[in-house]
Amino acid sequence: MNITAPQVAYPTSPLIRTALPGPRAREVLARDNAVTSPSLPRAYPFVPKRGRGCSVEDVDGNVFLDFNAGIAVNSTGHGHPKVVEAVQRQAAEILHYSASDFYLPIYSEMCGALAEVAPMSSPTRVFLSNSGAEAVEGALKLARYATKRPYVISFQGAFHGRTMGALTLTDSKAKYHKGFGPLVPAVLHAPYADPRRTASGERDTATVDYLRDSLFRYEVEPTEVAAIFVEPIQGEGGIIVPAPGWMEDLRALCDEFGILLVADEVQSGIGRTGKMWAIEHTSAEPDIVTSAKGLASGLPLGAFIAREEIMNAWGVGAHGSTYGGSPVPCAAGLATLEIIRSENLLENSTKLGADLLERLRKLQANQPDTVTDVRGVGLFIGVEFPDGQVANRVQNRCFEKGLLVLEAGENVVRMSPPLVLRADEAQTGLRLFSEAVSEIAAERL
């Protein structure tokens, strides 16, 4: 049986037919409230049913313009025909065979495709996982194993995932750690790049100064540090873009002390910033890169890519995963990388991202009391508000208007639309966002 995706054509502008949440959505919310874990951090009552491109329809037939992409996941949009076809073809062939124990052809094909686009100039090897956290966890294990050093460093504001190692590296909200201690030992945190200094055009040396003059002096010998984990652009922390030179300084510090530089590109990678990896906007090369989210357009696939001599440090049985790199997610991942190439999605992300940023900066100029900063690279954009309450109200007002955006950090609304965004959709999204901001600004007077 050949099942094809239902043919749906959505209008460019959202279409909100019911009060939100609608009657069917309310039924789902009631069931969900009764049976799911209360730990899930739901943003607003959006109940998706199906989607195409940048449009997504809820269970009541309301059509939204998706500037979330399922938290930077649906990189090729919803239901890209090539992804759907690749998934169906692979599902009909074989659903699963553990690549940890046997030689699944599509696993090494996916690893090869990732090695080809890795942001390293020397050869790499790849391990496939099911999620971002699992990729980070694996990278953490590999860094300790390969260097035989216990300590790792990550940054304040960082988000690396929810499993114990990734959670310990995470340092964006105290509530993420609360109740779970003791966390993984020998993980230290340092201040991340400061966008205020970036804005004034100053070189941002505070991080490296802190590591050198404080952490390495009072807390840990640098020769005991296995790795520094860094998001080249902080995502959950509020779309924070380091000043030029910041990553290169970090790389130089790592080189000085034999520390591995691990770029966590789970959110910023796979074309989101207009390059395959956000770190490619700098001249620094990482030793290990983690990926997930946009990698397979919505199917659960993560990866860490390491320089060959690092990955070769561990031997048989040191690390594995029953489902990691399962065939159907790999098929979606290969299709995703092919679509990014053939549909010039890096160029699209660069161009539409620059247009959006320019227009959002005009909005900031018109609403300086409400919009306090606009930042980002490509289609990875953050709009900052005076406080979290205003950001939350803007996010919710956008939802009511049919535009899906998501808070990040303490007072930022994030835009991370699919990379297949069209210019008319970008314009519509911007119009709705501007309306929401103006309305909230007027209500605050």
Where on the chain is the footprint of ligand PLP (CB under 6 A)? 131-133, 136, 159-161, 231, 235-236, 264, 266-267, 292
237 vs 230, 301, 356, CA distance in Å? 12, 23, 21
The nearest distance, CB 406 to ligand PLP, in angstroms, is 11
Please say which residue, 22 or 238, places its beta carbon nearer to ligand PLP.
238
The nearest distance, CB 91 to ligand PLP, in angstroms, is 22
Distance CA 75, CA 310 (A): 29
Which strand (E) or helix (H) includes residue 320? none
The nearest distance, CB 180 to ligand PLP, in angstroms, is 15
CA nearest 379: which of 48, 68, 52? 68
CA 218 to chain centre: 33
- Determine whether 71 is exposed, middle or buried from the number of CB atoms within 10 Å of its CB (0-12, 13-18, 19+): middle
Please say which residue, 222 or 294, places its beta carbon nearer to ligand PLP.
294
Residue nearest to ligand PLP (CB): 132
The total number of residues shown for the chain amounts to 445
Please say which residue, 266 or 390, places its beta carbon nearer to ligand PLP.
266
The nearest distance, CB 378 to ligand PLP, in angstroms, is 16
Torsion region of 259: left, alpha or beta (phi above 0 gives left; psi -120 to 50 gives alpha): beta
The nearest distance, CB 259 to ligand PLP, in angstroms, is 20
CA nearest 324: which of 344, 357, 347, 301? 301
The nearest distance, CB 81 to ligand PLP, in angstroms, is 25
Token digits for 233?
Answer: 């652009």
- Determine whether 311 is exposed, middle or buried from the number of CB atoms within 10 Å of its CB (0-12, 13-18, 19+): buried
Please say which residue, 14 or 237, places its beta carbon nearer to ligand PLP.
237
